[in-house]
Amino acid sequence: MACCCLLICSCQKPNVIVIIPEPVECTPKSGNFTIDNETYLCFENLGAKTGDFSKIIHDTYRQTFKMKPNLGDKSSSHRNYILFEINKKEDKEIGKEGYTLTVKRSHIIAKANTTAGLFYAFQTIRQMAYLDQLTDSKEFHIPCAKITDHPRFAYRGAHLDVSRHFFDVNFVKRYIDLMAAYKLNKFHWHLTDDHGWRIQIDQYPGLTTIGAWRPERTSWDTLHPVQPDEPATYGGYYTKAQIRDIIEYAAARHIDIIPEIEIPGHCSAILATYPQYACDDYPYTVAVGPYWPPKAILCAGNDDVITFYKNVLKEVAELFPYPLIHIGGDEAFNDNWQVCPKCQQRIQDKKLADETALQQWMMNEMEQYLKQFGKTAIMWDDIVSDDMVNQCDVMCWQSPDVAKTAAKHGNDVILCPTSHCYFNYYQGDPEKEPLAMTGLVTLEKAYSFDPMPDGLTEAQAKHILGGQCNLWTEFINTPEQAEYMLLPRLCALSECVWTPLDKKDFKNFSKRLSFHRQYLIKSGYHCHE
């Protein structure tokens, strides 16, 4: 029997295996392994990584099973043990992040080529014990099984907008915990936008003393513009020390962080702080509430602006270890550029066709600049055209057709289309749901997401790195609401980016999800029905 859902085996106790994302292969066997006070954790062949890896497993084990694990090695004759072992010879089938898991009555053996694979094996073990975790059992039964598992895509992401509303370090870590539980590995941190600048930049302290704060608005349903002398009481930002702490926390859970610095639009928070970087004399403020279209754009003809962005990106590149940095590029309305003498002069000097080419030039300047730090730029797909000059990675929020154009152009692509991946959209009847962004992405719709567009050649398809969900927070002003919008759609996304296409089945997923939903709610998460 190859399917791992809801097996009722011949022993007395039903064996229920409810893993999300569904593994590549899972063969249930009869019987159970029991986690109790006598269980030992053993680590083999991890070399220098033993310390860090055993710490995260110990910590998570204690949290999950409410007991302290014993330490041992497999040569000891322990009554039961869980062994984590790095393969001495590479197992090519499972790749960098896959694992094999053998659960027998007396022991569990998790094997992988890397600690990431072993970490995911442990997430699978935790989920296999969900049934007992729901009943406050003191013993946890892991159904016997043989599992081989590895992800379909290398990029499995989740995004969080902390500009429209600010979320503290504790919530960011809680978000990372959720990602780790569902084997997601890229956290896209949207740190700057019109509604607040959220990252400490030493060279420009005004970005966080002024740009991180705005008048408070309890409702984003109607725009009430900032009034003269209205106090800026809402906001916050992350210090570099806090960011380093979060980077370390995420790394222990095999999650890379991709920071986003928006260029050249979505910049009201910058212009509220440094009005000299605008094309005009408009009195910009850190934005409040809804408005459209965003007028704010930094002057592409001003050399000080180019220097400003490079100085900011230098600090960001030095802070974040992962080689990808997102530099925005979306929704840059260039009306101001059309009438700005400096911008027009730049177009003339650089022999550019128009304002669209001016943005390509500006983004390309930043892309080239980041290379000296060993970084690759990601941009939103607004930059994509048949004759695009940018060699950046592209994040496609619009349509799979744009993703295809980028992949054919040779750019690496991450998909997060509004149609399936915008978890700030309603997930149910708007009449019954809390206020959300207009649009509907039901759980079933989210589950039907396939990051791979049709009609690409094998070579072009290699440019599709994976997918992610986006959580824009105009209408999400508390951690509880953020979780409610994420869950359970995040579970659906995890299966879209991990599980082989031919193993996806919404009916089967829904059955497994019913257990996960109960577990998440019992664990204190806010979860949509």
Cβ nearer to Zn ion, comparing 336 with 405: 336
Q: Does 469 bind Zn ion (CB under 5 A)?
A: no
Does position 301 bind Zn ion by CB under 5 A? yes
- Per the CB < 8 A criterion, the answer to whether 484 and 526 are in contact is yes
Please, which residue, 185 or 334, has the CB nearer to Zn ion? 334
Cβ atoms within 10 A of the Cβ of 8, count?
Answer: 10
**Residue 336 Cβ vs Zn ion, minimum distance, rounded to whole Å:** 6
420 noted as active-site residue? no
Going from the C-alpha of 226 to that of each of 222, 260, 278, 330, 341, the distances in angstroms are 13, 26, 19, 25, 29
Site membership for Zn ion, residue 272 (CB under 5 A): no
Query: Least Å distance between CB 195 and Zn ion?
Result: 23
Applying CB under 5 A, the site for Zn ion has a residue count of 6
Other Cβ atoms less than 10 A from the Cβ of 333: the count is: 14
Choose, by CB under 5 A, the member of 244, 342, 445, 526 that binds Zn ion: 342
- Of 240 and 342, which has the nearer Cβ to Zn ion? 342
For residue 81, what are its two tokens?
């043990």
Task: Tell me the Ramachandran region of residue 31: left when phi exceeds 0, alpha when psi lies from -120 to 50, beta otherwise.
Answer: left
By CB under 5 A, tell whether 299 contacts Zn ion.
Answer: yes
Catalytic entry in 266, 326, 463, 516:
266
Hunting for tokens 């222990």 — which residue is that?
A: 252
**Is there binding between residue 343 and Zn ion (CB under 5 A)?**
yes
Q: How far is the CB of 334 from Zn ion (least distance, A)?
A: 9
Long-range contacts at 52-56 (CB < 8 A, ≥ 24 apart) = 52/115, 52/252, 53/84, 53/115, 53/118, 53/119, 55/252, 56/119, 56/252, 56/253
Q: Is residue 279 a contact residue for Zn ion (CB under 5 A)?
A: yes
- The yes or no reply on residue 295 touching Zn ion (CB under 5 A) is no
| Closer Cβ to Zn ion, 294 or 500, answer by number | 294
Q: Which is nearer to Zn ion, 356 or 523 (CB)?
A: 356
Q: Tell me if 278 contacts Zn ion by CB under 5 A.
A: no
Active-site position among 331, 433, 450, 474:
331
Of 11-19, 295-303, 310-318, 365-373: span binding Zn ion (CB under 5 A): 295-303
The C-alpha atoms of residue 275 and residue 306 are separated, in whole angstroms, by 15
Q: Known catalytic residue: 193?
A: yes
Q: Alpha-carbon distance 57 to 42, whole Å?
A: 11
To the nearest whole angstrom, how small is the minimum distance from the Cβ of residue 383 to Zn ion?
Answer: 19
**148: nearest Cα among 86, 103, 81, 83:** 103
The least distance separating Zn ion from the CB of residue 300, rounded to whole angstroms, comes to: 6
Residue 108 contacts residue 100 (beta carbons within 8 Å) = no
- Virtual CA dihedral for 440, 441, 443, 449, nearest 10 degrees? 150
264 binds Zn ion (CB under 5 A): no
Q: Is 22 a catalytic residue?
A: no
> In angstroms, what CA-CA distances link 134 with 242, 489, 523?
34, 21, 9
Q: How far is the CB of 306 from Zn ion (least distance, A)?
A: 12
**Residue among 221 and 304 whose Cβ is closer to Zn ion:** 304
Residues near Zn ion, by CB under 5 A: 279, 299, 301, 340, 342-343
Catalytic residue ranges: 193, 266, 331
